[in-house]
Amino acid sequence: MKIVRYPEKSLWKSILERPHIDAARLGSTVSSILEDVKRDGDEAVKKYEEQFDHVCLQSLSVSKEEMDEAEQLVSDKLKDAILLAYHNIKVFHKSQLTSPSKIETQPGVTCWQKPVAIQRVGLYIPGGSAPLFSTVLMLSTPAKIAGCERIVLCTPPGKDGKVHPAVLFAAKVAGVSDIFKAGGVQAIGAMAYGTESIPYVYKIFGPGNQYVMEAKQQVSLHGVAIDMPAGPSEVCVIADENADCTFIAADLLSQAEHGPDSQVVLITTSEKTLTGVQQEVTAQLESLPRKSIASQALDNSKLVLVHDDDEAMDMANLYAPEHLIIQTDNYAELAERVVNAGSVFLGRYACESAGDYASGTNHTLPTNGYATSYSGVNLDSYFRKITFQHISSRGIANIGPAVAEMAAAESLDGHKNAMTLRMKSLSGN
C-alpha cells in the first residue's frame, strides 16, 4: 500500500483515483456482447458461458431437482447463519414500508402518492472466485417485501454446470424461483432484452466487475432501469491514535480480497496508527487464502496521514466510498459530518463484514464515487411512486384562475382551455 503523508488538498483527487481499465475498449467489448445476446438469445448466452465461465450448458434454467439437491448439500450451520441473516435483512427492510397519506394542498384539491412495486425485476449475483449467496438475500428479500410479481435471478455456474448450493438455498429462503445459469455481460443482456429462456425485466439490480457495471449502464440507455453503478468493492477507514490497528487491517483486507480491482483506503490523524496498520496488513496478508487477489488490490490502495478530523472528513466525503468505517473515539460526532457514503460503520466493533452479511442493512451500494448521487439498495428501489389527485368544484374555484393565468403566460392555450371550460361550467356562464 502506498503511504501519503499530509498531502496538499489540490492532490487529493489524484491520490484517491480508483483503478480502471481503458474505457473505450471496455465499452466496445461490452457493446459487442450485448448485441450478440439481443440478436441470438440463448445461443449467445451459452456461447459466452463457454468462453468466459468455461462451461457447456444444455439448459440455462436451474431445475427443481437442482434446488432440492442444493438444500441437502448446505450444512445445517450455514443454513442457520443464512436464516439469521435473512431475518435481520427482512426486519430492517420491512421497517421501510410507508402508508400513503393524502394531503389537501388547497380546499378541494387532494393529492397523494402511492408506492407500486415494479412488476418484473432482475437480480444479478456475481460468481467467479466467491459465491455471493449473501447478495441473493440482499436483493431478493426487499423485492419480495415490495411485492414484485416476477423476480428473475441470474448467476454464473461453476465448471460443473451447477450453481453453488448456498446460492440456491438462499434463493429458496428468500422466495425466488426463476433462477438461470448466466453470468457477466451476457446475463445483463439476457435480462434486459429477454431470450428464449430468460424473461426480460424492467429493472436490473446487483453488483459486479467493471464489465458488468458497463453493461448495466449501456442497457439503461435503452429502456431498462438499473439500481445504481455498482462495480468493484471499496472501503475507506477513518482512524485516530486510539484505533485498533488489528481490526483496521482486517477490515482493509476483507475488501481487498474481493478482487484485484478493489480498493481500500485508510485516512488517519496518527502516525502511530498508520505504521501499526501497515504492519498488521503485511502480517495478516500472509495467512489469507486469497492472498494473491488481495495483494493486487493493495497495489491500488493508500494509507493517508492527515492533520486533523476536518481533513479526514473532507477527504472521505471527496472519496465518497462504498463503505465508510469510522473507528475514532468521537465516531458519533464525525458520523454527523458524513455527506457522501454508501453505508457507514461506527466504532471499533462495527466491521464492514457485519453489513455484508447479517446486521440487516443492504450491502448493494454505489461504488466508484457514485455515493455522491446514489443511495444503496433499499425498499424504495423496488417501487415506483405514482401520484394521484382529486379536484372538486371547490378546488377548481381555488386553483383554476392561477392555472389559466400560468398557461396563458406560457402560450399554451389548450392547457388554459381545459381549465377555463370547467370554470365556466361551474359558474353557469
Cell of 48: 459466452
Q: What does the pLDDT average to over 191-204?
A: 98
Query: Is residue 22 helix, strand or coil?
Result: coil
Q: Are 100 and 387 in contact (CB under 8 A)?
A: no
Residue 323 φ then ψ, to 5°: -120, 135
Is 233 annotated to bind ligand? yes
pLDDT at 44 > cutoff 70: yes
Which H/E stretch holds residue 387? strand 383-391
Task: Please indicate whether residue 87 is annotated as part of the active site.
Answer: no
Annotated active-site residue in 322, 333, 352, 405: 322
For residue 70, CA distances in Å to 165, 169, 174 come to 4, 6, 15
Is 317 annotated to bind ligand? no
pTM for the predicted model, two decimal places: 0.93
What pLDDT digit, counting tens, does each position of 334-392 carry?
999 999 999 999 999 999 999 999 999 999 999 999 999 999 999 999 999 999 999 99
Is 362 annotated to bind ligand? no
What band does 21 get if pLDDT is binned at 50, 70 and 90?
A: low
**Number of Cα atoms under 13 Å in the Cβ half of residue 364:** 30
Is 370 annotated to bind ligand? no
- Sorted by where each begins, the domain ranges of the chain are 2-19+232-360, 23-99+118-228, 392-427
Q: Are 136 and 171 in contact (CB under 8 A)?
A: yes
Rounded Cα–Cα distance for residues 140 and 177 (Å): 11
pLDDT at 130 > cutoff 80: no
Among 27, 376, 368, residue whose Cα is nearest residue 35: 27
Cell of 17: 483515483
What pLDDT digit, counting tens, does each position of 249-302 carry?
999 999 999 888 899 999 999 999 999 999 999 999 999 999 999 999 999 899
What pLDDT digit, counting tens, does each position of 86-120 carry?
999 999 999 999 988 999 999 999 999 999 999 99
CA angle 277, 278, 282 (to 5 degrees): 110
Is 87 annotated to bind ligand? no
Annotated active-site residue in 93, 257, 311, 323: 323
For the chain, the average pLDDT equals 95
Rounded Cα–Cα distance for residues 210 and 357 (Å): 23
Q: What does the pLDDT average to over 415-429?
A: 92
**Fold of the 23-99+118-228 domain:** Rossmann fold (3.40.50)
Q: Are 133 and 169 in contact (CB under 8 A)?
A: yes
What pLDDT was estimated at residue 129?
64
Tell me if domain 2-19+232-360 and domain 23-99+118-228 are identical in fold. yes
Is 279 annotated to bind ligand? no
Is 330 annotated to bind ligand? no
pLDDT at 22 > cutoff 80: no
What pLDDT digit, counting tens, does each position of 201-247 carry?
999 999 888 899 899 999 999 989 999 987 788 999 999 999 999 99
What pLDDT digit, counting tens, does each position of 47-79 carry?
999 999 999 999 999 999 999 999 999 999 999
Is 129 annotated to bind ligand? no
What pLDDT digit, counting tens, does each position of 272-285 carry?
999 999 999 999 99
Task: Please indicate whether residue 323 is annotated as part of the active site.
Answer: yes
What band does 128 get if pLDDT is binned at 50, 70 and 90?
A: low
What pLDDT was estimated at residue 257?
93
Q: Spelled out in words, what is the top-level CATH class assigned to the domain 2-19+232-360?
A: alpha beta
What pLDDT was estimated at residue 48?
97
What pLDDT was estimated at residue 16?
95
More confident residue, 232 or 1: 1
Is 106 annotated to bind ligand? no
What pLDDT was estimated at residue 259?
85
